[in-house]
Amino acid sequence: MGAYDLLFDQVATRIDPELAHRLGFVGVRAGGPALAAARRGVARLRGTTATPVHTLGLTFPHALGLAAGFDKNATGIDALAALGFGHVEVGTVTGRPQPGNPQPRLFRLPADKAIVNRMGFNNDGAAVVARRLEQRAERLRGRDPRGRPVLGVNIGKSKVVPDDDQTAVEADYAISARLLAPFADYLVVNVSSPNTPGLRNLQAVEKLGPLLEHVRQVADAATHDGRGHSGRRVPLLVKIAPDLADEDVDAVADMAVAGARDGVLDGVIATNTTIGRGGLVTPEADVEALGAGGLSGAPLRERSLEVLRRLRRRVGPDLTLVGVGGISTVADARERIAAGADLVQAYTGFIYGGPAWPSRIAAGAGARTQ
């Protein structure tokens, strides 16, 4: 058992998971530069070099990124990159600030290497996060961009906005798109968290298609240079749930192909957390006592992989696909890439794996060959 495993088992599991997350994140931000130096030294000693990935019109240092949910408010992007993540996806950010669901709302299932959460998009809101990203951009201006992570921004629906009011939904997402697109390397529309009432209803293609078109228009306008010339085009992706029926996955895939052809959509992230509880080692009574929420981690691996494979078969070789859900090992990352993922992301695997985990996975993941 390594030092991190011992710390996790003997300390982290004995305190509230949300408090442990906050304390751990403080440590990451405080120790980022030193960890970056250590990571570079380890890479030199081992003679390893990660394989760059060229997709979305961007160059990613390697395939592994941090999924949305860890850095909800864009407070530790570069420190997280220093641990070895080639891209960091912040959020989910909503148009309006919101506290999220009542606590407790985050739970560990150590026997399953899994987490249940019902956070509910707790975040500072698009305006505050945009100011934070603007300040970061000012700090980095003029510095060598090499080694800087690709930055994704994940946006979602504010809880107070009813999902059955399409105009209100589009206006709510537009707030975030307008404020955040200028600072994002890519933008993600999240319609798949189980913790905002009605959000997953937006995955129906008759709602999702118009929403993506609206976000695309707003993002394009937000990055316009104001002098009559088109500005930088920010790639747009959509994140879907593993609980979609296969025919609904196919419908999203077909919509994504059409969206790519029309210049609206650039990729799909598969998948978010699941509301399912099948196949867990943790006693059923203990799981039921935790209540509702999205399950992430190792138990999600098979369904997430299955959805990814189905998407790749349906969309063909060109659309960008990001595989996330249940990636814990180098073998998991390679399997996801072999199944058609251009990029992979993790969150729960990082929580259980510790600060050395990202660089280890990144070094061994490889890249997709078409």
Contacts of 20 (CB under 8 A, 6+ apart): 12
Q: Is 119 annotated as a binding residue?
A: yes
Cβ(87)–Cβ(152) below 8 Å:
yes
68 in a known ligand binding site: yes
Describe the crossing of helices 357-365 and 17-46 by its angle, rounded to 10 degrees. 50
Check whether 72 is labelled as a binding-site residue: yes
To the question of whether residue 92 is assigned a binding role by annotation, the answer is yes
Q: Any known ligand binding at 117?
A: yes
Do the annotations mark residue 326 as ligand-binding?
yes
271 annotated to a ligand binding site: yes
Angle at the Cα of 29 (from 27 to 32), degrees rounded to 5? 100
In the three-class reduction of DSSP (H, G, I as helix; E, B as strand; rest coil), residue 295 is classed as strand
Which string of b and e fits 60-79 if b means at least 16 CB within 10 Å? bbbbbbbbbbbbbbbbbbbb
176 counts as catalytic:
no
Q: Is 121 annotated as a binding residue?
A: yes
Q: Determine whether the annotation assigns residue 347 to a binding site.
A: yes
- The response to whether 222 counts as a known ligand-binding position is no
Question: Binding site annotation covers 118?
Answer: yes
Nearest to 83 by CA among 4, 175, 193, 6: 4
273 is in an annotated binding site: yes
* 287 Cα distance to chain centroid: 25
| Active-site residue (options: 193, 296, 304, 328) | 193
Is 122 annotated to bind a ligand? Reply is no
41 is in an annotated binding site: no
Q: Is 348 annotated as a binding residue?
A: yes
Q: Is 201 annotated as a binding residue?
A: no
Neighbours of 34 (CB within 10 A): 10
CB 301 within 8 A of CB 113: no
Q: How many residues does the chain have?
A: 370
Q: What are the tokens at 16?
A: 């509230």
Could you give the CA distance from residue 276 to residue 270 in angstroms, rounded to a whole number? 16
Which amino acid does the sequence have at 155? I
Question: Do the beta carbons of residue 223 and residue 103 sit within 8 Å?
Answer: no
User: Is 84 marked as a binding-site residue?
Assistant: no
For residue 174 the two structure tokens come to 């537009």
How far CA 332 is from CA of 230, 261, 277, 282, 327, in Å, comes to 40, 31, 21, 22, 5
Give me the sheet containing 294-297, strands edge to edge. 106-109, 114-117, 294-297
Annotated binding site: 68-72, 92, 117-121, 154, 190, 195, 239, 271-273, 297, 326, 347-348
Annotated binding site for FMN: 68-72, 92, 154, 190, 239, 271, 297, 326, 347-348
The catalytic residues are 193
Annotated binding site for substrate: 72, 117-121, 190, 195, 272-273
